[in-house]
Structure 1
Amino acid sequence: MSHLNDSRARVMEFWRACELFSPPSLPRVDPRDEREPVFQVAAGALLPWEAGHPLQRRRIRPNMTWRYIVYGGVFQLERVRVLLENVFGPGPENFDRAPQGASALFAMLVTEEGRPLLGA
């Protein structure tokens, strides 16, 4: 039974490594999008769920509510690729297009009041 658990642990370790080196791209910043606006927030600026933020002036249907995704540790994928190539050298020929844009170390779902939505 120990061999089976060890095998499962190795599979999970492999998938974690795959995810680590295959970060998803973030949505493009677009505060005007009617359905899913995306904001870039500077330090000290109002957050979309805070009073006074432009999003608070938008009206939504009575049976709907805002929910937000907060991305933390945002980084440019191209910068990471260049850093890895500088450390490890260029890889073998690869005809796949390198991922573009930004990714993040974590994402957190929050309620319309800005509280973490646990278990989501």
Structure 2
Amino acid sequence: MVTTVYDADGNPRVIDPYLDGCPTRRILDRIGDRWTVLVVGVLGEGTARFSELKRRIDGISQKMLTQTLREMERDGLVIRTVYPEVPVRVAYALTDAGRSLRAPLKALEEWSIEHLGGVLVSQGEYDQKGAAKAG
């Protein structure tokens, strides 16, 4: 889908994600990232602290969670709230834009669960063909 948007100076800019250099590709990279999908899933249930996100998203490193949250905050998907307490408490929540991603990302999650069996069968068949060609 090709559209026109206007930058901060009022200059028109043609947006087409199929063109190299289109800024929507960076957004697609962000929302297509597995960690973003999982963070949106957890935060879709409500505000969470870093430690809770780390505990709920098995396999994510502290570094990757920090990076993902920072990028999501920069993109306007997550809001980070610091509470001036001792010790300092930090909580994360989805913004309106982040909440708008819940339904499409949940659909992808459900699709992956529903089709996992078929994908695994296809992968096995493909790998066997490759092994037969190599042998």
Give TM class, smaller chain: under 0.3
**Higher relative contact order (CA closer than 8 Å, sequence separation 6+):** 1
Q: Tell me the TM-score normalised to structure 1 length.
A: 0.26
